[in-house]
């Protein structure tokens, strides 16, 4: 199996940065879509996949929670990456020369203050790294890109202004996926992720959640989403602190199963040190 880690996006994307930070010994592999990154792991082209699931500024990443249970992969780790946004431009370009900045619409919205202060107009690009690549290919010193420092290194752009994001806590959480399930205790603090559907009885969700409260298990995330385009079929995604073999977690999951028609453990993995 190749010692690669797949991600969605171009080289220089924040997902690429996550791969470099979390698995520096592995070769990052750029993929066009999330599905392509998942397929690369399934067919053995890559060993792991780095998938973003949520961002502190703009919430959960669309489609990921739907793809995770269907992927056949297992969560073996998580990574929290600070999204530092930088203004990049052609070598030798001063800040006052730049009149337009290109990036993904989300990043453009996260740098409103800086862009307004310097009179720079926003130009929507397909993604961050792609915008950096576009700027590098244009002989236009008035056009900059908002992207990672890694993208600047890859596409030969100058770092004109560092960390220009409006909020200084912008962070994306990634899940590291593998074909191989690993339920071993690989860290002092462990996380467990799972999806479930409650039985169609009154107060089923309330009762199902009661086991976590009474057993003192901290649930850090609970999200619902529709399945199969039906308003009647709701699936829940949850993250909890602990390992399934911990007595309180085992009791809570046993109680959850009693009220559920379906439950699937997606993975148990070490909590990232940057989680807190």
SS3 165: coil
User: What are the contacts of 215-221 at 24+ separation with CB within 8 A?
Assistant: 215/248, 215/249, 215/251, 215/252, 215/255, 216/248, 217/241, 217/242, 217/248, 217/249, 217/252, 218/242, 220/191
Among 245, 242, 205, 243, residue whose Cα is nearest residue 223: 205
Contact between 158 and 115 (Cβ < 8 Å): no
Cβ neighbors of 267 (< 8 A, separation 6 or more) are: 74, 75, 76, 175, 181, 182, 192, 193
Asked about 172 being catalytic, the answer comes back as yes
Q: Residue 122's closest CA among 145, 140, 138, 139?
A: 145
User: Which is the catalytic residue, given 93, 128, 172, 192?
Assistant: 172
68 vs 63: CA distance, rounded Å: 9
Across-strand partners of 262?
197
148-184 CB burial, b ≥16 within 10 A, e <16: bbbbbebbebeebbeebbeeeebebbbbbbbbeeebe
45 is catalytic: no
Q: Which of the following is catalytic: 7, 34, 80, 174?
A: 174
Nearest to 133 by CA among 174, 94, 104, 97: 104
Q: Which residues are catalytic?
A: 172, 174
């Amino acid at each position: 199996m190749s010692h690669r880690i797949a991600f969605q996006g171009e080289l220089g994307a924040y997902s690429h940065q996550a791969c470099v930070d979390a698995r520096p010994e592995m070769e990052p592999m750029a993929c066009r879509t999330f599905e392509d990154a998942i397929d690369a792991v399934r067919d053995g082209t890559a060993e792991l996949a780095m998938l973003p699931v949520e961002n502190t500024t703009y919430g959960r990443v669309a489609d990921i929670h739907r793809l995770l249970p269907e992927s056949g992969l297992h969560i073996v780790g998580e990574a929290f990456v600070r999204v530092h946004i930088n203004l990049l431009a052609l070598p030798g370009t001063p800040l006052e020369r730049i009149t337009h900045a290109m990036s993904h619409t989300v990043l453009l919205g996260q740098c409103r203050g800086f862009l307004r202060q310097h009179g720079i107009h926003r130009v929507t690009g397909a993604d961050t790294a792609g915008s950096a690549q576009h700027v590098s290919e244009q002989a236009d010193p008035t056009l900059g890109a908002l992207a990672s420092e890694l993208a600047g290194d890859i596409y030969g752009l100058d770092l004109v202004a560092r960390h220009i994001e409006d909020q200084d806590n912008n962070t994306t959480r990634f899940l590291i996926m593998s074909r191989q399930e690993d339920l071993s205790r690989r860290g002092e603090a462990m996380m467990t992720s799972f999806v479930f559907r409650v039985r169609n009885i009154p107060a089923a969700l309330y009762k199902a959640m009661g086991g976590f409260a009474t057993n003192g298990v901290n649930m850090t995330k609970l999200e619902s989403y529709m399945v199969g385009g039906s308003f009647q079929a709701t699936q829940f995604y949850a993250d909890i602190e602990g390992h399934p073999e911990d007595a309180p977690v085992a009791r809570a999951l046993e109680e959850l199963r009693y009220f559920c028609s379906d439950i699937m453990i997606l993975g148990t993995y070490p909590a990232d040190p940057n989680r807190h």
